[in-house]
Structures are given as C-alpha cells and as structure tokens.
Structure 1
Amino acid sequence: MTFTFSRYRATQNYMAASHKEHPDHLITVFINNGFPMHVPCPDPINLSDERTLEHLKLFYQLNLFEQGPVRALVPKTLASVDIVELIRGRVAGRRIETLPLGFDGNREVMYFNNTLGLKGSTAIVEQLWRKGVYRCRKPDCCCSNNENMLEAQESTDRCLNMVMGWNGSVASVIILAPTLLSMAAMVVWPAVAVKVCSSTGLL
C-alpha cells in the first residue's frame, strides 16, 4: 500500500509543479478511455512537435509507472494517439482522427517513441491547436487571436486518447508458453526417468 501511494504522490507532485510552470494551457489526456489527466502544457506558439510529444510522453510514462507491477502482467502497448471528443470535461467520446505519428509495424506511434524524427516540425502542435485539443485555461489566452497559429480552433472540447493494443510478441510468448513447456517436458522426462531408474537399479 505504501509503495502504491508513493507512486501516486510522485505523479501528483510532478503535475502540481508543471501547473506552476505552465499555468495558461492544457491538454486533457486519456489512456485507453481511463481517467482524464489534465496535462499543463507550454505556450503552443513557436512550440516544436518534438518538445510537445516529449512533454506528453512524460505524463504517459508517469501514468504507467503509477500502475506498478500490474502493468507488467498486461501484454499491451501504445497503438495510436487519437483526437476524441471531450464530454463534460471527464469522459472520452467518439474519435475525430488519429495523430499521424508514423507507423511502427501496425502501430502508429513511431514519432511518439522517437521524437527526434520530428525535429523542426510544428505540424502536430498546429493540428492539436486547430482541433481544439490544445486549450487555453483563461479567456484572454495570448494565442487565441494570434496570427502565428494557422487557423482558428474548430472546437474547444476535444482531447487525446492514447489507445493501447496487444503487444504481439509478448502475447505470443504468453500463449505459446504452456505448449513450449509441455514439449520441453516430453523431451526431458524420458531421459530423467531412465537416469533415475538406472541409479536405483530398476533397469
């Protein structure tokens, strides 16, 4: 119980510190339609995709850390990052679109895992702003009417949902483990039986 509480406190302490550093903007993030995280974010003007995704990835990793050993028992990994409707500020609704983060196998998360590939790009930040995911916490937000943003926001009630999918390699190992152990036993057991019988004089 103490260990779980410590993990929870670590996440909350970092969230509080981030609120002080970035008081004006936020992105609401869900992981697999779970509980909302209202992530404080830097001013989106002149903000790079690389820095934005690194910032979001930190809170994603903190959330996984908070889950503790249970997380290791579930063979799931991040499959995509979707823009979804935000219902009443606390529920993830229907999917609007998926962030184009590049495919790694069948998972569209390549640039989330390796943000260096987005160095110098601002397309993701502009998409998050335009779709209403990147939100101002104050009515007089400095970027609400800023000409540096390509377009006005379509909405102000959207968020991100980090969709988890089955990790194929881990799931395969879990599924095949009983079969492999049975085959190993079939190979090893006759040799062990012969050796035991020989040592006891039964053969």
Structure 2
Amino acid sequence: MKGFSKLCDILKTYSTLLVPFLREFFDMARKIIFEYGGVLDKYMGDGVMGLFGFESKAGECTGNAICAVAAALELKELFKDLQAKWIRIWEKHVPHTITIGLKCGINTGYAIVGNIGTKRRTQFTALGSTVNIASRLTDICNSGQIIVSATTKSKISNQFELKSLGIVTELRNIYGPFEIFSVIKKKKDIS
C-alpha cells in the first residue's frame, strides 16, 4: 500500500482503527487471489504476495499472467470502496488528512517454490529474481497503479490495455534495462 507507514504513524494510538482495516483488506485480497487460481504466499506488513501458475479460474483465465493481472484489477476496484469507507471512519477520530492507496507489481517467470524455513517453522513461498523483480516493480508504483514487466506484457497484451512507462536501468539492486508497462484496463470482448 502507498501511504501505509504514514497511516500507522497517524493512528499509532488507535490500533482498533488500523487492525480491522488490515484484516478486511487481507481477507479481500485472499478471496480474490483464490478466485483467480492463485496461492496466497504471505502477508508482509501492509502487503500481500500472491503466486499464480498452480491452477486457473475455470473459463476466465487461460494463462497465469492473465489471472494475476485480472486479480490485481479486481482488487484495485474493490479497494476503492474499502479505502473510502475507512477514510471516513479514520477522519472522525484524527485531525489529519489520510491518503492511502493500492499498488501492485507483477512479473512472470520461473521461481524456486516450496516449504522453506527451519525444522521448527516452514513457510510455503517463492524465491528468486522473478519474485524480486515483482517486488521492485511494486516499489516504483504510484497509488492505484499496476506495473508489469515486459515478460508479463508478452503474455497479457491481447487481453489488457497497457501503456509503456519506458525503460528503467535499475530496480533497487537488480540491473536492467527493463521495459515496464502500466495496466490500464481489460480490453473489451470482441464478439
């Protein structure tokens, strides 16, 4: 989320106003990830990591990247209502203008996937440059933006309207060049 650290600072004495929001957001994200055939990898502070490529939503998604982007677009739309609801609640309790938004980075490729950890605690997760690039794309997103890599673009361009954001030469300790794209919307079905 964009603006979450500032939100935490504003609401530091109002945990009863922050925790339920996070719970509601995480539940929404979980449902959407599962609906589109994804696997919930983890909650990371204010973020959620979903993995796609294990199964697909019947009749809707014919590819893993398509499912991931469709899920991100749906989450983006549903987040608007959640955001409006909670901003109204928060602003009744604190004298600050609260700005918070959703952002998402998506990359497509191979990853090391499995139960990783120690004998006492393991977690199903994905590792590797594919995952790291997705995380770095999220880092450079603006509020409300979904950014995808050129690899993802090659899998989804027939289904979604995209806008080139140009080439970046570095994504925090990952050296490019990388052409990146913003997802605008799903293309209209042509029948």
TM interval, shorter chain, is: 0.3 to 0.5
Q: TM-score, normalised by structure 1?
A: 0.33
Q: TM-score, normalised by structure 2?
A: 0.35
Q: Which has a greater percent of helix? A: 1
Q: Which one has the largest radius of gyration?
A: 1
